[in-house]
Amino acid sequence: MTQTTLDLLNEAEPIFLKMAEFEASPDSLETVLELLDKYEPPASWVLELPSQLKNGTYKTLPLDLMEAAARRIFGYESGIAQISSPIIIQDKTGKFSVSVTAEYSLGYSYGQHVAHGIASVTSPNIQGLELATPKASSMAVKNALKQLGGFFGKYLNRAEEEVSEVPAAPSIQEEIDSIPDSIRKVQTLEDLKTYQKIAYSKSISHEVQTLYEQKLRELKGK
């Protein structure tokens, strides 16, 4: 029998009640965040999914359950405060990536708190960006909630991460900084056109658009 979100929340009720003991204390927010970092999620909450980065699986929590738990702890006014416009970049191999940041505002039960998350999703071509962008947004919200601690799955894959040989992904700023150099190295109009959407994106500086147009004139003049 499939468990509903309410069923799963009920399994963590002893933890919720423990946190509620501190609701009226002066340092309640700090105390509750410490507890959230200390506790692990119930085993029934954990999903094990195939990993795209390496052979094997990784553990995670369903986003709807994470949000339901946040509302149960911090109040039902908790929710997404802001999701940034996507930053779209293309690397030297032609692969696209979409990066999104999210702010998740927690309610007033223990004092207001905002959790921040960031996520990047890759796409082999420009057509895949339509699916990659909402996926990145959801992952950013999930990563914001994960920052609340172990109860939200922050340490589920700690052992695997410690032995992982997967190199760290470049930061968003590093990826943005690489765009002008990539445009300068383009040799054909066809390759340059893959940067058109990026160059005119609102999240990219006007200098990139100017560089794109200069390169376009240069290639058309050949």
95-110: pLDDT as tens digits: 888 999 999 999 888 8
Report pLDDT for 202: 58
Residues 120 and 99 in one domain: yes
Residues 66 and 174 in one domain: no
Q: Which positions ≥6 away from 172 have C-beta within 8 Å?
A: 87, 99, 118, 120
Residues 113 and 190 in one domain: no
Residues 36 and 135 in one domain: yes
Contact between 133 and 126 under an 8 Å Cβ cutoff? The reply is no
Mean pLDDT of 61-86: 92
Residues 202 and 184 in one domain: yes
Q: d(Cα 97, Cα 14) in Å, to the nearest integer?
A: 41
- Per the structure, how many domains does the chain have? 2
Is-above-0.95 flag for pTM? no
Q: What is the pLDDT of residues 18-31, one digit of tens each?
A: 988 887 777 888 89
Enclosing domain of residue 162: 5-169
